[in-house]
Amino acid sequence: MPLLIKNAHVYSPDDLGIKDILIVNDKVATIGENLQVCLPELETLDAKGTILTPGFIDQHIHVTGGGGEGGPKTRTPEIMLSELIECGTTSLVGVSGTDSVTRSIENLLAKVRALTAEGVTAWMYTSNYSFPPTTLTGSVKGDLFMVPEVLGVKIALGDHRSSFPTVEQVLHLLTDIRVGGMIAGKIGVLHIHTGNVRGAFEMYEEIIKRGFPIRHIRPTHCARDKYVFEKALEFARAGGRIDITTGGSCCFESPADAVEAAWEAGIEPSLITMSSDGHGSVPRFNDKGEMIGLGVGGVACNLRDLKKLIERGHSPEKVLPLLTKNVARGLELTGKGEIYGGCSADLCLFDQDWNLKHVLSKGQMMMKDRELLVKGTFEI
């Protein structure tokens, strides 16, 4: 049914002031003041006193579960739809991790498609920590062209669990990603789990010096280690995009501190994003490299750190792009991460204290007055 949202304070994420928004099917039809609409079966939501934003995009979630470093019993569980909706995540990119044996790429694709069918929008990166990459079709180019959900390739670099490919091997992989993206009409990115073993950013520097476009190189976990963070800032100064993980370990007191440090260092704000690493395992190791504990990463940490930055006095239009516009533009997700006529109707509505009240995904009301209206297929 068409829905008219009245009197909301809209951040697109730019501050548009008090506006009405008309939603028809899965799209925002128009935005304006005092809209007068006559449509069959029109519903109206008086949103006076609320803040309306784009739905959040989480570009790093282990949707099929991660972990496994401590044996089969340590494999983390798959994510459920309600976990995403409760924190305003309406779009996501699924990833695989350390376990390339029991967590197949085919299973990742199936889960991504299931989440999309349940009501959000999901994509994926093919492969995992391994090199050569694990693919669906037998090649990176094939995955990018033949699988609509595939946006790029996941790999681990600078981590004790990575395969430690050479500069030439990474450059060859990047070339396949770039060409595959061209053929498929996608940007094509190398999404990189960054560990604290030095050498990854030095590798990127060499690749960029040779003339390869920096826009295809996408390191994440950029604030888990002080050295990595400083190298990430250098990478961003050269025009690269950096992603700060809100879940798991951080070399700052909180990931919000890392974002502030990047801003204070003069990094172009549009080059910074946040992601949760949700449902990945959170292993703890001793000095000998032995695992001494394990936890499960959540997905609500994105909303937690967004609220923390706003509470510290940063304007919503500066903070919101970390989870909306910056992610969408970086991955060329048309119609996502912003609010304008014709965009996907992925919307979050908050009270004045930034507590989430309503969530719409593709025009469907998923949560209303903090009550979940839609749950995953197997959720009770």
- Residues with active-site annotation: 277
What is the arrangement of strands in the sheet containing 89-94, beginning at the earlier edge strand? 56-61, 89-94, 121-126, 150-157, 189-194, 217-220
Q: Which pair of structure tokens corresponds to residue 202?
A: 């030095």
Q: CA 378 to CA 224: how far, in whole Å?
A: 35
How far apart are the C-alpha atoms of 259 and 85, rounded to whole Å? Answer: 24
The answer to whether 120 touches 89, Cβ cutoff 8 Å, is: yes
Binding site, annotated residues for Zn(2+): 60, 62, 154, 193, 221, 277
How far apart are the C-alpha atoms of 163 and 105, rounded to whole Å?
Answer: 18
d(CA 243, CA 58): 11
SS3 at position 321: helix
Determine the 3-state secondary structure of 359 from DSSP. strand
Contact in structure between 275 and 245 (CB atoms under 8 Å): yes
Residue ranges of the annotated binding site are 60, 62, 67-69, 98, 129, 154, 161, 193, 221, 224, 277, 281
- Residues at the annotated binding site for substrate? 67-69, 98, 129, 161, 224, 281
Which H or E run contains 365? strand 364-368
Helix (H, G, I), strand (E, B) or coil at 110: helix
Residue 60 near residue 124, CB atoms below 8 Å: no
Q: What type of residue sits at position 9?
A: H
Residues 283, 296: contact at Cβ < 8 Å? no
**Cα 82 from chain centroid (whole Å):** 17
Q: Which helix (H) or strand (E) holds 23?
A: strand 15-24
